[in-house]
Every structure is written in C-alpha cells, then in structure tokens.
Amino acid sequence: MDANTLYQGGENFDLRQMLLKGRSLSLRDRTALFGAFLHAPDADQGHICRREIRSASDREVLVADGDAGTSRTMLMFGSNNYLGLANHPLVQERVARCIAEFGVGIGGPPLLNGYTSLHKELEARLAELKHTEDCLIFSSGYAANVGVVSGLMSRSDTVLYDAYSHASFCDGIKLSGVRSMQFPHNDVRALQDSLERLPVRSGGDVFVAVEGVYSMDGDLSPLESVVPLCRKHNAILLVDDAHGTGVMGENGAGTADHCGVTNEVDITVGTFSKTFAVTGGFVAASRAIVDYLRYFARSYMFSASLPPPVIAAVLAGLDVLRDEPDRIARLRKNIQYCSAALRSIGFHVSAQSPIVPLRVPEGVNIRAAARRFHELGIFLNAIEYPAVPMSQQRFRISLTADHMRNDIDRLAEGIATVCKSWTATDRIAA
C-alpha cells in the first residue's frame, strides 16, 4: 500500500503501514527500517524538523540556529495561536492569579477530586458559546475525539465520515467497533447517496461526522447542506470544530454559526490547542449526551483533569473573545490580505480560515525549499511525504491577528523568492 492510498487529506496517515507494506517485523527490525528511512543520505538535506523555539509564541519568535548556540528572529507563520492569546497580558495575569489560588495541578480525574469551580465555570461558558445545554472537558483534543466516538458509538451503529477526518476520530472508530463508511471530502452528493443506500438496521443509530475547518487545506465543511441531509435521514451530526472555534462565526462561536446552522449541530468537539493556545479539548452537546459521556468516555474517566492554570487561560481567552472583537476582525483582514498577496504572485488562493495551503509542485524538493524559508527568517510548516503523497506536498501557512501587513508582505516576497525555480504553470496550478 502506498502513501497515495493511505492519505486521507487530513492528519490521518499511517507511517507504520506505509513502511511495513503488510510485512510482520520484530521491534528491532521495525526501528532499523524507520531509522534508515528517517536518516537516508538523500533525504536529510535541508530537513527542518523539531526546531527549538526560545521565546514566547508571537508574530516573531527566537529560534535556535542549528548547533551554533545562537538564536535567530523569525516571522512565525506556523502556529495555531490564531488570536495571539498565548502571550496576551490578560491571560498571563489570570493564570498567575489562578496559580496563587489553586496551585499548578490537581492530581486526579474529573469524577473524583479533579473537578474545581473553574472547570465547572468553563463547561458552562463553552456550552453558552456553542449554544448547547452542557459541555465536558477532556485532557486533549485527541482524547475528546477518541472519547466521544468510542463512548457514544457501538457495533450496532453506523458512522459516515469525511475522508479528511482527523486521525483521532479514526482511532475512535477503531476503538468503538462501529460500522464506518468514508465519503469523499466535502462531497454532499456522495454523502446523500450513502445515507439513502444505508440498509435499515434494527436498534442502530446513524452518525455523520465532519470537521468545521479542515486542518490541511483550511476549507470549510458545507454545513448548510449537511444539516438538512442529517435531519431528513434522522442522522446524528458530529462536527469537529478544532480550527473553527474562536475564529469562525460571530464572536468566535464556530463554523456552525458561520454557516447559519448554530442550533442544528448535535455534538461539537473542540480543542484548546488552537485559538486558546494551550492544551485540552471539549465536547458540547445536550445534557443527556454529556452526562452519558462522563461515565462512558474512557479517555475522560481515566485521565487526570486539566490543571487549573490551563482552565484559567481558556476562561481568560473567552473573555478576550467577548471584550476584544477587533482581534477576530484583524485576523479576517489578514486572511483577506494574505490571499490577495499570494494571488498577486500567481497562486489561486481564496482562504476562508487562518489556514492557507501553499502547494508544492511534484518534483520540487520540499526540504530544500523549507531550508530556504528558514534562512529567510520565515517559519513555515512543511507537510511532506509520507504524510501526503508526493503530488500533494505543501507548506501550511497559519495566520494570526497579530501579524502586520509588512509581515505578510515579507511572507509573499519570501514565497516569490523560493518559488523562482517553479514554472508559471506550477504556480497557477497550486
């Protein structure tokens, strides 16, 4: 099986499966095979991986400059800190105050000693943001997806899910044993056909799972079309809005709000590792579903609660969303400005979210290109084979509210410089 077969378009590739190609090898042989792949002489030229950041997350960061012991200032276009909350003064002040009152941790799961007044307040605030009855908090976005799928779905159910769904959702499917069917990315007609062809199964539910904003391409799910299909076929709609919460819709309510279907999503999964720039995840739904998940989502029951300072950071972030709406407005202006700047140098871009993919033509050495961006002081994340097929390698640009226009101008100039070797046809087709 090759990477083209494995690629799902999101963050759901299986490197082990690609390398082993169906072979059964010992741990020693597997690690040796992977080491040869990772450190191949013809593969590590220009390799940019695990760069050491030596400053707070901001529009500019200090990055360790190789083995020289020095640092260089770089423009950060690789962070999901979309609204600049990671270094916001109010967030810092609230976290410091929280540590003085609650300490740095809890030392227990939420059903025992790991539930504070801060956790209770955050659940209520998130339910309000998502227009649901209740909410529960997980230790990570990954745990939230695994927990909601394995906790709610059973072998008598069926889930139809977008081909670009996140790896955590797919891992939840494996744990639950639910019957699953994948439909092509954002293909509403294919979803409709699948719903109409599903055999009647006694006692089983049908779930439809999509993402609000997809992580690799930054495109949106057409929820305004998906919701009526779910209602027509009595399917339960689950939306993973990891990248949409905080930046899409009015006051950052999310992609459902952006698409005009605020009260029509049955279950919303979110994370604190994007807009809120910390860690953790949540599930917002009816009170009955949330109560059920507290006892049946194993990744919730058997994980320690998030430390109070993390909860305080998210609560402060919600206050910033409410009190500083200009941050979202600035982010959206930056998205528009970046799209226009990239179009001016030959790329077809019309971004709707802070994620802007920059496709690399097949045959271009993406690692060498990544090294050139690094040398220009532009921090970009290279998404390379085998995470995607050779034909779909790309750089993923992440925009924030704190970027200034001259930052984006420097980004566009850097892209134009690095892409000089690419033909005009390659640029237009990107």
Over residues 154-213, the pLDDT tens digits come to 999 999 999 999 999 999 999 899 999 999 999 999 999 999 999 876 679 999 999 999
Rounded CA-CA distance 313/369 in Å is 36
Query: Encoding tokens for residue 309?
Result: 């300072």
Query: Encoding tokens for residue 394?
Result: 């790309």
End-to-end CA distance of the chain: 26
| Domain count for the chain | 2
CATH number at residue 184: 3.40.640.10
193: DSSP letter: H
Do 233 and 172 share a domain, yes or no? yes
User: End of a domain among 291, 323, 355?
Assistant: 323
- Determine the 3-state secondary structure of 129 from DSSP: helix
- Determine the 3-state secondary structure of 366 from DSSP: helix
Over residues 107-151, the pLDDT tens digits come to 999 999 999 999 999 999 999 999 999 999 999 999 999 999 999
Report, as residue numbers or ranges, the catalytic residues: 80, 166, 211, 215, 240, 243, 274
**Of 60, 72, 107, 102, which Cα lies nearest the Cα of 410?**
60
213: DSSP letter: B
Q: Residue 8: inside a domain, yes or no?
A: no
Do 268 and 128 meet the contact criterion of CB atoms below 8 Å apart? no
Do 66 and 131 share a domain, yes or no? no
Q: What is the average pLDDT across 218-240?
A: 97
Q: Residue 82: inside a domain, yes or no?
A: no
Residues 6+ apart with CB under 8 A from 361: 422, 423, 426, 429, 430
Residue 162 is predicted with a pLDDT of: 97
Do 383 and 412 share a domain, yes or no? yes
Q: Residue 363: inside a domain, yes or no?
A: yes
- Could you give the residue ranges of the DSSP H alpha helices within 161-307? 167-176, 188-197, 223-232, 255-258, 287-296, 298-301
Cis ω on the peptide bond leading into residue 89 (within 30° of 0)?
no
Do 359 and 394 meet the contact criterion of CB atoms below 8 Å apart? yes
Do 367 and 43 meet the contact criterion of CB atoms below 8 Å apart? yes
Do 277 and 167 share a domain, yes or no? yes
Do 117 and 256 share a domain, yes or no? yes
Structural domain boundaries enclosing 53: 43-76+326-429
Whole-structure pTM value: 0.91
Do 356 and 313 share a domain, yes or no? no
Query: Encoding tokens for residue 330?
Result: 């600035």
Residues 6+ apart with CB under 8 A from 342: 349, 356, 358, 412, 415
